Amino acid sequence: MKLIGNINDIKYTRENRNQDIALHISRMEYITHKKDGRFFQPFDLEVELEDPIVLTGDRLARIQNKLLAEGEYEFEVYDKEGDAYTLNPDKQLSLSIEYDFDADVTILSSLYYTVTVSNEEFKELKAEHIRQKKQQQKGRGKKGR
């Protein structure tokens, strides 16, 4: 995870001028809700990405949440198709930053990028994730001989 630019420039509405802000996301979380008896339960899958996703500031709008501590932010995520931006309610970004006064540097301390998917998509993603882990383990076993 890496932050380029000033995240505080992003306001409560999406703006094109925030294109110079970039977040490099290396871990993604997929969430689905399955019925467990009478109630729906959340299930999640965290995936480490080989190539980071880059989200630019023009695709983000801050969410007003007075319960967040200083340095914590939540964002709505917009999808961009051509020149059109559409809000994607299935994607959410939350992050925490800290300021190091001695070094005069802003540090990205945590980043959570979540995508809500259907149960079918979740099953496919989980199966693919398990296949990739098995392939990685096979490769490691051969090197140790």
The DSSP-derived string for 20-34 is G-EEEEEEEEEEEEE
C-alpha 8/C-alpha 28 separation (Å) is 23
> Are 25 and 52 within 8 A, CB to CB?
yes
Q: What pLDDT does 33 receive?
A: 86
Distance of alpha carbon 79 from alpha carbon 74, whole angstroms: 17
Residue 2 three-state SS = strand
> In the prediction, which pLDDT does 145 show?
47
What's the pLDDT score for residue 50? 85
pLDDT along the chain (145 residues), means of 10: 88 92 93 83 88 93 90 93 92 91 85 92 89 78 51
Residue 105 Cα distances to 17, 23, 51, 102, 130, angstroms: 23, 16, 26, 8, 39
Does residue 90 contact residue 113 with C-beta atoms inside 8 Å?
A: no
- Per the CB < 8 A criterion, the answer to whether 113 and 27 are in contact is yes
pLDDT at 142: 53
